[in-house]
Structure 1
Amino acid sequence: MSGDERGTDFRNAPTPGIKMSRLPGLDLLRAIAIVWVMFFHAQGAGLGAPWPPLSQFGWMGVDLFFALSGYLIGWQVLRPLSQGRRLDFRDFYLRRALRVLPAFWTVLALYLLWPAFRERPGLESGWQFFTFTLNLLIDYEHNKAFSHAWSLCVEEHFYLLFPLLAIALTRRPALWKGAVAVAALVLAGIALRAWVWNGLDDNANHWVERIYYPTWMRLDGLLFGVTLAAVRAYRPQWWEAMMRRSGWLALAGVLAVAAAIALSQQRLGFVASVFGFPVVSLGMALLVAAGASERRWTGRLRVPGAGWLAAASFSLYLSHKGAFALMAGAWGEPLETQPLLAFFAYAGAALAAGAILHYAVERPFLRWRERLIRRRAPAPAAADAAAA
């Protein structure tokens, strides 16, 4: 989603105006995440369940996005703090705003003004989207349109609060304080989900509203991603040791995700609702760590098309359900009897919508952001600012 810079390698900050190096491993993970999510949402777009083993658990792609965001944004915040430098809040929030808001507001305008773009008739009031409170206040039973913006709300809350918490914890740096904070928040999430689940009725919409969407229920992926960034920033020797064993990290990540899939066969059940999220988030964070290795195959694996999907993933995420809705409205009935043609038609519509949003809105604002940062930043700091 919006967790910045896809597979950008922040280790060696580029000179302003020079294209940044990228890590194909992180690009591949982001590409997998967006494709997986689109498979999941295709179930409600007239496609049934394409490749059911994949589409059934496509919601896990969001947890992969969260782990990537936690790592990349965590590194962006913790790197200067670990070097004794101040975090420039103005630059941080400027970067976040110009990264997220233009594309988000464009798609929101389409949802508000063009009913045919809605995958469901009901849409929450615009103020919930503008204030990023959709995930806390949504009436999911009646207002499902653009509901996938819930995850963007979680990330916005993370962007708002994490820098403040990081500064508080690093005034007297001690890795154990961060570890205790992460463990406490993960355990609190487990306890809270268990308590809320025990009070739920059989209405699946209430499960979405009270367990799946709220920020305080879905911090695991972000927390594990931030933990990776903290190890890299404050224990570089540990990080290097991890990078030398990235293959084992990848294997452990795959096994953890497989365990999460096994736990989540009954997605609304107690075990999946309470323990599934931290397990899948741990697996995704291990995969992110493996993908961050610069010298091993896990970080250098290139798959054709993955780089573009990673670069356009935020635009694809925002627009794909609207594209599905347009395709279903125009051609849904004749495509019902031609599943293979339907798959390519819906996929083409989603890719086209994402590409238009990416090239017409997202990229121009990112270029403008880079120019603003270069003008604001003093010469020695300009590279770091541009890198994020």
Structure 2
Amino acid sequence: MHRLPGLDLLRAWAIVWVVLFHSYVVGGLGEDFAWLGNDGWMGVDLFFVLSGYLIGYQLLAPLARAEPLAWRAFYRRRAFRILPAFLVVLAVYVVWPALREAPGLAPAWQFLSFTLNLLIDYGHDKAFSHAWSLCVEEHFYLLFPWLAWWLVRRPSPRKALAVGLGVVAFGMAVRGYVWLHAMAPVMGQPGPAFGLRFVEGIYYATWARLDGLLAGVALAALRVGRPQAWTQLQRHAGVVLAVGLGLLALAWWLFRERLGLWPSVAGYPLLSLALALCVGASTAMPARRAVPGAGWLARVSYSVYLSHKLALHAVATWWVGPWQLNGLVAFAFYAAGVLVVGAALYYAVERPFLRWRERLDGRRPQVTADIGAAA
């Protein structure tokens, strides 16, 4: 199926950014490279916007054509896409404690039920904690098809706008409440309580982290419901990208104090809007401008995301530490380890199941047309 080079480039950048940020599990990248990953957590928000746009379009496009929503096919495709690689990595974490990047691991049932982000004790269970974002996406996959079906039954721009603004306002209210009632009382006190309450109450909780997914869905709704406006957006992609980058710079400035009240309350909607504009502009990127390697990195990004902390820990334990590597040499070893482990997971597990999924879809041409339009 045709791939969009602009979206591939953003997905590739998102995974690189996240891996650089998570280099803290091996002590960071050193003074010379620390700046590369300081704000890499924003890569997760970029993934959210991309998911919201792609999944939103897959669901909204057939509904806008008055076609029935293929519920079973949608959930089956998501299961084939998400579960195989995830279960393999989870098994590694459970069976081989020595490979974990941190000693504590949440109970396996929290991962299997995708409730990790709601129940985690981050102070003790940091291993594989980055699966929190997968939990948020799974909740989105489970609930959004029903919401989309309900909204399209009796289409109303006002109703859709009210729902969207309500989600944003609710998230802002939750984050503000947690900050004022859980974080402010321990501000300035010794110990990690302030940061832990931020992670567990604001950063990980699904109901506080829907801004990126909503921004992506809004982008998809614009493409489906206002095709003329979408055409104008693509025609002026350069201007849209410039505005998006400007808002991204503003969000970056606001997040200088990442744990502060105003970044926690208003920063995520601003960041999501900026990234959505960048995603919208990137859809107009012509194939001839594709960046070499970006498409491949985009394809393996999910496997890399799942396994990169295991890879970083393994490289640090078996090579960088014993050989006393540092600087560019250590950086190269870490990069190679992350890519090799991620690629192995992709080619051995993820891709075979994706091909199996496509063979099943080949027997259901109507399902393929409904669900696979924007994959």
Interval containing the TM-score (normalised by the shorter chain):
over 0.9
Question: What is residue 307 of structure 2 aligned with on the other side?
Answer: 319
1:208 alignment partner, one of 191, 199, 202: 199
Distance 1:106 1:267, change over 3 A: same
Instruction: State the one-letter code of the partner of 2:243.
Output: A
Q: How many Å apart are 1:381 and its aligned residue?
A: 4.7
Distance 1:279 1:300, change over 3 A: farther
Question: What is residue 371 of structure 1 aligned with on the other side?
Answer: 359
TM-score, structure 1 as length reference: 0.91
1:43 alignment partner, one of 24, 31, 35: 24
TM-score, structure 2 as length reference: 0.94
Deviations 1:206-239 (CA, angstroms, capped at 9, x unpaired): 2100010000110000001000111111111111
* 1:75 equivalenced with 2:57 (yes/no): yes
1:114 alignment partner, one of 90, 93, 96: 96
2:15 alignment partner, one of 11, 34, 38: 34
Question: 1 CA distance for matches of 2:50 and 2:176?
Answer: 26
Question: What is residue 178 of structure 1 aligned with on the other side?
Answer: 160
Identity %: 55
After superposing on structure 2, the runs of 4+ consecutive aligned residues of structure 1 that deviate more than 6 Å are none
Between 331-340 and 25-34, report the one with greater CA deviation.
331-340
* 1:237 equivalenced with 2:228 (yes/no): yes
Between 43-52 and 355-364, report the one with greater CA deviation.
43-52
Question: 2 CA distance for matches of 1:79 and 1:185?
Answer: 22
Q: How many Å apart are 1:188 and its aligned residue?
A: 1.4
Question: 1 CA distance for matches of 2:106 and 2:320?
Answer: 25
- The RMSD of aligned alpha carbons is 1.5
* 1:359 equivalenced with 2:347 (yes/no): yes
* 1:349 equivalenced with 2:331 (yes/no): no
Q: Secondary structure at the match of 2:257?
A: coil
Give the structure with the higher percent helix: 2
Question: What is residue 22 of structure 1 aligned with on the other side?
Answer: 3
**Which ranges of structure 2 fall in alignment gaps of 5 or more residues?**
188-192
Question: 1 CA distance for matches of 2:155 and 2:13?
Answer: 35
Question: What is residue 134 of structure 1 aligned with on the other side?
Answer: 116
Q: Is the 8 A contact 1:315 1:355 kept in 2?
A: yes
Between 166-175 and 154-163, report the one with greater CA deviation.
166-175
Q: Secondary structure at the match of 2:222?
A: helix
1:271 alignment partner, one of 252, 262, 268: 262
Q: How many Å apart are 1:383 and its aligned residue?
A: 3.9
Instruction: State the one-letter code of the partner of 1:210.
Output: G
1:282 alignment partner, one of 262, 273, 284: 273
Question: 2 CA distance for matches of 1:81 and 1:335?
Answer: 58
Question: 1 CA distance for matches of 2:70 and 2:199?
Answer: 36
Equivalenced residue count is 364
Distance 1:214 1:74, change over 3 A: same
1:58 alignment partner, one of 40, 57, 70: 40
Q: Is the 8 A contact 2:320 2:333 kept in 1?
A: no
Q: How many Å apart are 1:365 and its aligned residue?
A: 0.1
Q: Secondary structure at the match of 1:303?
A: coil
Question: 2 CA distance for matches of 1:189 and 1:300?
Answer: 40
Distance 1:335 1:174, change over 3 A: farther
Deviations 1:7-48 (CA, angstroms, capped at 9, x unpaired): xxxxxxxxxxxxx11110000000000000000001222334
Instruction: State the one-letter code of the partner of 1:304.
Output: P
Question: 1 CA distance for matches of 2:5 and 2:134?
Answer: 24
Q: How many Å apart are 1:92 and its aligned residue?
A: 0.2
Q: Is the 8 A contact 2:115 2:135 kept in 1?
A: yes
Question: 2 CA distance for matches of 1:382 and 1:65?
Answer: 24
Instruction: State the one-letter code of the partner of 2:108.
Output: G
Instruction: State the one-letter code of the partner of 2:333.
Output: A
Q: Is the 8 A contact 2:247 2:271 kept in 1?
A: yes
Instruction: State the one-letter code of the partner of 1:325.
Output: H
Between 268-277 and 160-169, report the one with greater CA deviation.
268-277
Instruction: State the one-letter code of the partner of 1:254.
Output: L
Instruction: State the one-letter code of the partner of 1:47.
Output: G
Question: What is residue 87 of structure 1 aligned with on the other side?
Answer: 69
Deviations 1:260-308 (CA, angstroms, capped at 9, x unpaired): 1100111111121111111111111111101112xx55x7631111111
Q: How many Å apart are 1:373 and its aligned residue?
A: 1.7
* 1:150 equivalenced with 2:138 (yes/no): no
Q: How many Å apart are 1:335 and its aligned residue?
A: 5.4
Q: How many Å apart are 1:374 and its aligned residue?
A: 1.8
Question: 2 CA distance for matches of 1:317 and 1:216?
Answer: 22
